[in-house]
Amino acid sequence: MNAASSFYNKAPRHLVAVDCIIFGFDEGRLKLLIMQRKVAPMAGEWSLVGGFVQEGEGIEEAAARVLEHTTGLNNIYMDQLHCYGSVNRDTGARVISVAYYALIRIKDHDKPLAREHGAHWLELHEIPELIFDHNKMIEDALAALRNNAQFHPIGFELLPEKFTLSQLRSLYEEIYQRTLDKRNFRKKILSLDVIEKLEEKDKTSSKKGAHLYRFDPQKYEALKHKGLVFEI
């Protein structure tokens, strides 16, 4: 016990955890990484990826550690969502959880490592009932993702470096959970002038192929100072 802690030796003690809502995009579908819990209480039930904050560790450091431990990735997009502290939210103890949502490219993560931890990618409509308040965390994360997508090009964190306009439209349809008009979407996204058209084509779906594009962060930064709203 350090000297400072002696000032609070009569204060109640609570556990602090981090829970990560990990979004990925694959085959035109927005997906979530969830896992089967290995410890009591509620061992074997479906859960978000999470863990306790360790001694000498910051909350954001803990979230990054949990993400890397499960996916093998570091330096990925991660944003703090909310603090969940209802008295009886965890049946095992009084646990306060700070939730983060993260965006990763599914093809980049370490799939064997995720499977080792019992983690699986599921589409949004496939998400089962999770432990504690984890379904509420997902609901809140989706709302934050949709709101954030209006002002920042976070969707590009989920796409490969080179993508087609069709892939980009499919992603935003998944984020907003609604169909977007193909022609209007193309007109709007190109008018923003934040993606660069490449000479390369994706010919996986047709001989003619579709042009590939790449996000231009420098153009985005320039437009951001002018009050760009990235609303599709």
Catalytic option among 57, 60, 68, 116: 116
Domains of the chain listed by start with CATH number: 12-149 (3.90.79.10), 154-224 (1.10.10.10)
Q: What is the pLDDT of residue 228?
A: 64
The answer for residues whose C-beta is within 8 angstroms of residue 68's C-beta and 6 or more apart is 74
Q: What is the pLDDT of residue 227?
A: 65
Question: What is the Cα–Cα distance from 194 to 189, expressed in whole angstroms?
Answer: 8
The answer for residues whose C-beta is within 8 angstroms of residue 151's C-beta and 6 or more apart is 229, 230
* Confidence tier at 159 by pLDDT (50, 70, 90): very high
Element (H, E) at 195: strand 195-202
For residue 2, pLDDT beyond 70: no
129 is catalytic: no
- What crossing angle do the helices spanning 165-176 and 134-149 adopt, rounded to 10°? 130
The pTM of this model reads 0.90
Q: What is the pLDDT of residue 209?
A: 85
- Read off the pLDDT of residues 41-66 as tens digits, 9 standing for 90 and up: 999 999 999 999 999 999 999 999 99
